């Protein structure tokens, strides 16, 4: 469990309080499949953007998101435990499952948050002090529509040259999402004084509120 020890100290010493905060308003996706809000049943999306503590802390504060879960995607059910995933041999990425109301926010709207606030999509197999394939940037699509929207949006962002470096986010089919251990759920909410949370995750929440005030909602836990 490396993050509980070395990562917090490393962050404080080398990164500073604004580390990992890559906030800037991004345009809406222009893909035809994501043009408007639509009434219907709740939908789910799965994103990987480094440590799932921070990714979850962002999405659970987005208007229209009904629930979130920290977990693992990209590997098998048999290897979906924190101790195994941190060996960097299972193929899993620390991920967050987002359940949302499509009449309030679209899948493309979630992608906007993912690419502008939740993480830095130009970092290959790492985010801040966390390094390895389990911290990679990835979109695990559940439907052809999600794949099309994500693919088109990355092309749109690259064409607009909104990042200094190329986007390295993987777009891959979701084979399974496995919820992480209970102590990982809402970790940033329950451990606000943890040095890692203060340095790596609290700035993301502040960036969400500052960058997208119309989408920010307070969160007090599920």
Residues 155-186 have pLDDT tens digits of: 999 999 999 999 999 999 999 999 999 999 99
φ, ψ at 99 (rounded to 5°) = -100, 125
Q: Which CATH architecture has domain 2-211?
A: 2-Layer Sandwich (3.30)
Number of CB atoms found within 10 A of residue 87's CB: 10
**What pLDDT does 35 receive?**
59
Residues 199-208 have pLDDT tens digits of: 999 999 999 9
Supply the angle between the helices 202-211 and 52-59 in degrees, to the nearest 10.
Answer: 30
pTM for this predicted structure: 0.89
Q: Active site residue: 8, 51, 73, 199, which one?
A: 51
**What distance in Å separates the CA atoms of residue 29 and residue 210, rounded to the nearest whole number?**
21
pLDDT band at 6 (very low <50, low <70, confident <90, very high): very low
Average pLDDT, integer, range 88-92: 97
**What pLDDT does 8 receive?**
40
Residue 51: active-site member: yes
Residues 17-71 have pLDDT tens digits of: 333 445 666 776 766 666 578 888 999 999 999 999 999 999 999 999 999 999 9
**What distance in Å separates the CA atoms of residue 14 and residue 17, rounded to the nearest whole number?**
10
Question: Comparing C-alpha atoms, which of 137, 146, 136 is closest to residue 109?
Answer: 146
């Amino acid at each position: 469990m490396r993050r509980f020890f070395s990562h917090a100290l490393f962050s404080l010493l080398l990164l500073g309080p604004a580390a990992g905060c890559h906030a800037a308003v991004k345009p809406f996706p222009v893909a035809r499949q994501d043009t408007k809000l639509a009434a219907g049943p709740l939908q789910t999306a799965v994103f990987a953007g480094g440590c799932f503590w921070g990714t979850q802390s962002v999405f659970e504060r987005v208007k229209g998101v009904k629930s979130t879960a920290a977990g693992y995607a990209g590997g098998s059910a048999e290897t979906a435990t924190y101790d195994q995933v941190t060996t960097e041999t299972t193929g899993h990425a620390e991920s967050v499952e987002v359940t949302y109301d499509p009449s309030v926010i679209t899948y493309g709207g979630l992608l906007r948050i993912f690419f502008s606030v939740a993480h830095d999509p130009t970092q290959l197999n790492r985010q801040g002090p966390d390094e390895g394939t389990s911290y990679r940037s990835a979109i695990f699509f559940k439907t052809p529509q999600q794949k099309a929207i994500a693919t088109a949006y990355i092309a749109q962002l690259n064409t607009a040259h909104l990042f200094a470096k190329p986007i390295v986010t993987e777009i891959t089919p979701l084979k399974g999402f496995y919820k992480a251990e209970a102590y990982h759920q809402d970790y940033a909410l329950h451990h606000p004084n943890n040095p890692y949370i203060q340095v790596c995750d609290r700035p993301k929440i502040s960036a969400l509120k500052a960058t997208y005030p119309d989408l920010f909602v307070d969160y007090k836990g599920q």
